Amino acid sequence: MREVMVIGAGITPFGELWESSLRDLGIQAGLEAIRDAGITSCDIDALFVGNMAAGRLIEQTHIGALIADYAGLAGRNVPTVTIEGADASGAAAFHHAYLSVASGLHECVVVGGAEKMTDLPDADVAEIMSTALDQQWESFFGATLFSMYAMIARRHMHDFGTTKEQLAQVAVKNHAHGALNPQAQFRRPIKLESVLGAAEVADPLGMLDCAPISDGAAAVVLCSADRARKLPGQHVRIAASAQAGDTLSMSSRRSLTAFDASRVAMEKALKLAGRSRTEIHLAEVHDVTTIGEILAIEDLGFVKKGEGGRAAESGMTALSGELPVNTSGGLKARGHPLGATGIAQIIELSAQLTGKAGKRQVKDARVGLAHNVGGCGATAFVHILEAV
């Protein structure tokens, strides 16, 4: 397979964007990405869109065709497809877009992720997010996505002595990072006491342990390295694109305190990139809940299993720490428009690796990792990007 580069990026603000529809957001991100890449829409061979739930959130399927049409690509009959992998849909779309260029089928493609979540009441949205679980054997009995993560947190606390304060520290850190990101949904720091005192969602997780409901879209342009060399601008190399899976239902898993899909995807990604963990300078991980980030840094092997809580507390994962995690603010503070998240992670890495991350710039960042999980761990993607 040939080398593939990220040559342009576009992202909308994330948040409650009442004035914008899904198509508005998708177009905004896509056009910005194309402009940033310094190409025209005539250069685009295909469009990939990551979307989890527009069929239920706005009663619109066929999102790829919708965005392609309104982006003016339909006139050239550009092929497009929507890719779904729960809230890892963005990374899933990126993976397949990457494969299409790496294989030589396409020269230059746009891959976006978008979700419009605020057109429905919160309770409906929570219900729709829970469709990523096993409907017949989990949701049926009253399970929600956050209640599943709460059960992971409880077991993690039991087995490893992780505390609620350590969980809360993840939210405090990610809000502090979000405060430095102009695109983030939440751009103000929060205190540890606020997280601990927030309304309960599913014990031991409170409202500030959980990612918000968000609207937003993000898009990047990928192209072959050969072609990229002829284009101006700073590019980022895709060193690895890997995926792994696990049982849909959490009850069937080997462990209740680990996502094996994350672990295996990481092993594959490191092998593809020819890198070791110590060579990674920063990571965007799937903190859909605070325990999600703790699990991620363990499963990705940055700390030993059980040490994630203490690592969060020690400041290791803060912007100034040994391994900055979620410099964008993560799902927690940047926002989590399901299908857009995986692409937003890539955009944060691209900004960091090209020295354009402003106040949250990680010094000398050369290698970055993105980790996007679908539902409660049945799907995980790991991408490794490198500065060129």
Q: Using CB under 8 A as the criterion, which residues of the chain lie in contact with other proteins when the complex forms? A: 123-124, 126-127, 130, 135-144, 146-147, 150-152, 154-155, 158, 199-205, 249-252, 256
Cis peptide before 324 (omega within 30 of 0): no
Copy the structure tokens of residue 303.
């700390």
> How far apart are alpha carbons 384 and 266 in whole angstroms?
9
Rounded to a whole number of angstroms, the minimum distance from the CB of residue 142 to other proteins is 5
Rounded to a whole number of angstroms, the minimum distance from the CB of residue 317 to other proteins is 25
Nearer to other proteins, 154 or 164 (CB): 154
Nearer to other proteins, 176 or 256 (CB): 256
> Measured between alpha carbons, how far is residue 146 from residues 55, 79, 153, 302 in Å?
22, 36, 10, 24
Rounded to a whole number of angstroms, the minimum distance from the CB of residue 319 to other proteins is 31
Could you tell me which of 318, 74, 108 has the C-alpha nearest to residue 222?
A: 108
Nearer to other proteins, 151 or 195 (CB): 151
Nearer to other proteins, 153 or 357 (CB): 153
Per the CB < 8 A criterion, the answer to whether 352 and 222 are in contact is no
Rounded to a whole number of angstroms, the minimum distance from the CB of residue 342 to other proteins is 25
Rounded to a whole number of angstroms, the minimum distance from the CB of residue 122 to other proteins is 9
* Residues ≥6 apart with Cβ < 8 Å to 258: 295, 298, 299, 305
Rounded to a whole number of angstroms, the minimum distance from the CB of residue 299 to other proteins is 17
> How far apart are alpha carbons 63 and 262 in whole angstroms?
28
HSE-CB for 364 with a 13 A CA cutoff: 4
Nearer to other proteins, 176 or 207 (CB): 207
Nearer to other proteins, 209 or 284 (CB): 209
